[in-house]
Amino acid sequence: MSTFLGLIKEIPGISVDRFDGANLTSSIFFLSHCHSDHMHGLSDMFFEHIDEYNKYLYCSPITKALLENRFKFKTSCVKEIDINSPTVIEYSIKNEDKILICVTCIPAGHCPGSVMFLFEKNNISILYTGDFRINPKDFSKLKSLHYYNDSKLIPKSFTKIYLDTTFLSTDFSSFPTRQESVFKMYEVIKNWISKDPRNVVILECSAMYGSEFLFVELSKMLNMKIHVRSDVFETYCRIAQLSCYVTNDPYSTSIHACKKKISVSGLHCRSDVSNMNIMTVIPSVMKWRKKDTTIIGEWDKVKERTFNVCYSTHSSFNELKAFIQYFEALEIYPCVIKTEEEEQVYCLLDIVKRKLDQQSSNSQKYKLDLPRRKILNKTKFKSEYFSDDDSL
């Protein structure tokens, strides 16, 4: 759960993923993705506020579509920023001249529409990751976080990285890739539904949204749509890359992700299905704390016909370490930190940073060159959100 309070100290007047309290005095707002812990303060009243004061919220095209399904607002209040398209935004704060910043959205690999924000102003360069998971082998594919020097691709360095530290803990050293986790689920599910035509599977996901990569890949592999709740289906129908893999008809499929996590046993959407014909698959990483994650899945020792799979949309400790060491920053701010774990998180960051400083040689310097102003036009959804390489 994000504990970031929204204000970017180095660039006054902007707020990211927080829309209440002191953030209401900001001039412009940014939303990395549509998960509730990043949406504090978002409401119809908030959109009325920004409309009244001629302020704007910036996000990816998919995130805007999700917002439109949830809130009432003038479409002009929310501006889309295309992926990997540096965009100059002009704004002003009290008693100061107009400010120009360059903002770039980079795929975050967390959920549909999720992005990292690169903010550049003069010689200040801030990377806000939001929630993210990117395979280290794919770092070089993040072109907006590199520059060329004599035809050589060099990672940019940053003034500060606001980092998703959800699993910055040695208890979660490594995770299987999402493709590995999905394949394990596919094997177990295919085996179960092939045993008896009456058999069904419940995917017990931890939140209403966030498991979309899993739905898409399982649907492709099993040649079967995933049944989701009607309100979720309505949202997914706004996203072309998702709509063809889900259904609101419970009788058309054997795979169900329609059940609330805390609810009575059984399958509420299918009264014709006996409990003995139900297998539950739980994609989660919490059960793998301090465990061997080379064992991707295992049967639950307490619950009958329940299979647990190690699956994460956040970076593991080793992935975070690799990210910090690949993209250098003068300072790193942890965006997910419990009070009781604060000392441990900063200690781990210090260890990783100190090791990096010892390894560093003279690095190339990157200087921001503001591009021409880009006009924000509405565009169709793009496939960058759902590539097959697990992360991007």
**DSSP-assigned states of every residue in 226-257:** EE--HHHHHHHTT-HHHHTTEES-GGG-SEE-
Which has more confidence, 340 or 360? 340
Indicate whether 373 pLDDT > 90: no
C-beta neighbour count of 202 within 10 angstroms: 22
Indicate whether 51 pLDDT > 70: yes
Cβ atoms of 302 and 130 closer than 8 Å: no
Please state, in angstroms and rounded to a whole number, the distance separating the CA atoms of residues 317 and 323. 10
Cβ atoms of 104 and 86 closer than 8 Å: yes
Mean pLDDT, rounded, for 303-313 = 95
Name the residue type at position 389: D
Residue 263's pLDDT is: 56
**What residue segments make up the domains of the chain, in order of their start?**
14-171+315-360, 178-309
Q: What ranges make up the beta strands (E) of the chain?
A: 14-16, 28-30, 56-59, 78-80, 87-92, 98-107, 115-121, 124-128, 146-149, 152-155, 158-163, 200-203, 226-227, 246-247, 255-256, 278-284, 297-299, 306-310, 329-334
DSSP secondary structure code for residue 101 in this structure: E
Residue 252's pLDDT is: 96
Which has more confidence, 209 or 134? 134
Indicate whether 389 pLDDT > 70: no
Alpha carbon 137 to its chain centroid, in Å, reads: 18
304 is written with which tokens? 């009958």
Per-residue pLDDT band at 358 (split at 50, 70, 90): low
Cβ atoms of 349 and 179 closer than 8 Å: no
Please state, in angstroms and rounded to a whole number, the distance separating the CA atoms of residues 346 and 392. 28
209 is written with which tokens? 């949204």
Please state, in angstroms and rounded to a whole number, the distance separating the CA atoms of residues 87 and 100. 10
Residue 357's pLDDT is: 64
Q: For the chain, what percent of residues have pLDDT higher than 70?
A: 89
| Alpha-carbon distance values, 297 to 43, 175, 206, 288 (Å) | 39, 12, 17, 10
Indicate whether 371 pLDDT > 50: no
The pLDDT tens digits for 258-296 are 977 555 677 889 989 999 999 999 999 999 999 998 899
Q: Write the CB contacts of 297 (distance below 8 Å, at least 6 apart in sequence).
A: 181, 184, 185, 188, 307, 308, 309, 310
Please state, in angstroms and rounded to a whole number, the distance separating the CA atoms of residues 161 and 129. 7
pTM of the model: 0.88
Q: Give the mean pLDDT of the chain.
A: 88
Which has more confidence, 310 or 265? 310
- Tell me the CATH class for 178-309: alpha beta
Q: Write the CB contacts of 183 (distance below 8 Å, at least 6 apart in sequence).
A: 221
- Tell me the CATH class for 14-171+315-360: alpha beta
Indicate whether 360 pLDDT > 90: no
Q: Which of 126-130, 205-209, 269-273, 288-292 has the highest mean pLDDT?
A: 126-130
254 is written with which tokens? 């054997």
